Amino acid sequence: MSGAVDLSALKERAAAPPPQAPAPSGDGATPAAPDSTGLAPVIDVTEATFEAEVLVRSQQVPVVVDLWATWCEPCKQLSPLLEKLAREAGGTWVLAKVDVDANPRIAQAFGVQSVPTVVAIAGGQPLADFQGAQPEPQLRQWLAAVQQAVAGKLSGPPAGDGDPDEPEPEDPRFVAAEAALDEGDLSAAEAEFQKILDEEPANAEAQGAIRQVRFLARVQSVDPGAVAAADAAPNDIDAQLQAADVELYSQAPDAAFARLIGLVARSAGDDKTRVRTRLLELFELFDPAEPVVMTARRKLAAALY
């Protein structure tokens, strides 16, 4: 699940290796020079530079991490296209290229199973991702969704001249909710987010946050053995719903979605409606432009009709 990947290991290296020479870009091009914003649109990143070039930089602008390998044929198609789009973007987002063979700890932190894998990072956390080469129109759509998701939430590229703008004051309502989350008090956090929604029913940030809190509260009460129990009882609706929660919490959304889509296909009446409703709730925990959600929605439509 985006946002749930643990990148702390890359921030807490006990003995960081010396900086490596920049690896060549996937198409053999040299890294681009900084543009007028002062940010190079395309950079090569190693384990030694990951924190500064990706996690810290993503506090200003989204960083799109291209995890590639020299032997990967689809990478040779995708990487040049990403580089082109990054240069066109003019510093509104940065492309960080990572050779997974030379930097295995980065690949491990992202749980990379195949290359190319592309992950958008904002505010130091994964936001959205996809695997495999994609056509340019779909890439542009995905990048637009990423930028829309973080609009107004990051500090932006460094100003070329003059004093930096004063940071926006934090909304005290969200501060209270986040403090409750930090303390592990999910009930209090939900109550604080609900107060915001009572005042502003269309507040998208509060809507997303309360969905996440409710999911976390629900999954905490699920037996860790729920997946095995569900596999042993494929027609038990409650068991399947609990197993999907565990799979999603364990960062296996493909497995969770496939489980419930299969259950929709073999259910009827109120059971079908109940499973479909839960599946749609799980979709709402993600950015709608994420490929894993888009694919699952298509499969759900096929299962329904």
CB count, 10 Å around CB of 170?
9
Closest CA to 282 of 226, 235, 229, 243: 243
Residues 239/226, Cβ–Cβ less than 8 Å: yes
Residues 89/250, Cβ–Cβ less than 8 Å: no
Residues 3/126, Cβ–Cβ less than 8 Å: yes
Find the catalytic residue in 63, 72, 118, 263: 72
Q: What is the CA radius of gyration of the chain?
A: 21
Number of H-type helices and E-type strands within the chain:
13, 5
Structure-block tokens of residue 216: 């976390």
Residue 75 among the catalytic residues: yes
DSSP 305: -
CA 213 to chain centre: 17
Residue 128, burial from CB neighbour count under 10 angstroms (0-12, 13-18, 19+): buried
Find the catalytic residue in 7, 67, 75, 285: 75
Closest CA to 79 of 46, 122, 32: 32
Give CA–CA dist 258/279, Å, rounded.
10
Catalytic residue numbers, as ranges: 72, 75
